[in-house]
Amino acid sequence: MNTTRTISETGSRSPYTVVGGPRWDRVRRHPFPLTLLVLGRGDRLFKSDMLKDLLARSLGEILWIEGSESSTDVEPLSREFPQVRFLLVADRSTAGDRVNIGIDEARAPMVMVSWSDTRLVEFPSALLGSMEKSGVLCTVPVARTVRDEPIPTWQAPMWKKRRFSMAYHVPRVEGERILFPFDYCGLYNRLKFAQTGGYDPGIANPYWQKLDFGLRCFLWGERLLGTLRMRLTYTGSPPEEDTTPDEGYKQVWLKNMAVRMRREMGVLPTWRALDFMLHSDTGPFYAVKEFRIVRRWVRTHRFRFRRDPRDLVDGWERS
């Protein structure tokens, strides 16, 4: 079955194919309490072992997403594990696009996102109900290396020489605010995720894609929190963030950092266009075109904004 859908406001969803899995009980709205969404990464050496472990724990339905180049791996796995649904996504898709697709396909109100080179070491069943009732959009776990060393995966926004910056730290406090899920991993509220538009598939760099998502969530009044009760362990080296300013940075700046609150709604002021043109590498004509496109997007969602970046960072630093 080939399916093409979209949650994102600024990009189109990549096509994908569903392979295997049980039939959907359409009588029940949510036939599972939890969907385990696994993003394929690396070779197939440990994939079978991971699926056996997840199935043995009976936490909920399992969705596995791979690029279409891995179709030769998926066919034998789908025969070995008929309970698992596999989604083959176009190779050009971004990680955020795959998360969008997986959460949209999930048959549970809560979705736990992880990678095939991680292991969900701690996940207390009591956490699921409390997180759904809390209204938190995403709960971010603690991450550790294969040697059980803590990874500084939680972050907070800050001003550095009057510029927006990020500070990473090792998780220490339960319920701490997190700006975005490191490596996309976390327990997502499916409905709230869809209401915020998900990750922008048009942003290719994972760092800017995640930052765009996190800023949008907080500017729109949502919450992302960390928990010490849920833990992931990487079987290899965790990914490094590429913070090089690129096309994705421009989208983050226009859609989030340049927005200001005016009469209880978000606006992208006209005077921001000059600042954008001076720093854009595309020339004034195309820069104005980019600005107008995003300004229309901000206007469409103007009543979703609850604060602007100044309020966000200042409030974060005071708390």
Model pLDDT for residues 60-97, shown as the tens digit of each residue: 999 999 988 877 888 889 999 999 999 999 878 999 99
pLDDT at 48 over 60: yes
pTM above 0.85, yes or no: yes
Which whole-number Å values give the CA distances from 42 to 39, 70, 114, 116, 184, in the listed order? Answer: 10, 10, 13, 8, 16
What would the pLDDT profile of 83-133 be if each residue is shown by its tens digit? 999 999 987 899 999 999 999 999 999 999 999 999 999 998 888 888 888
CB 188 within 8 A of CB 103: yes
What would the pLDDT profile of 202-237 be if each residue is shown by its tens digit? 999 999 999 999 999 999 999 999 999 999 999 989
CB 262 within 8 A of CB 220: no
What mean pLDDT, rounded, does the chain reach? 90
Residues 6+ apart with CB under 8 A from 311: 261
What's domain 2-234's superfamily in CATH? Spore Coat Polysaccharide Biosynthesis Protein SpsA; Chain A (3.90.550.10)
The domains of the chain are located at 2-234, 258-318
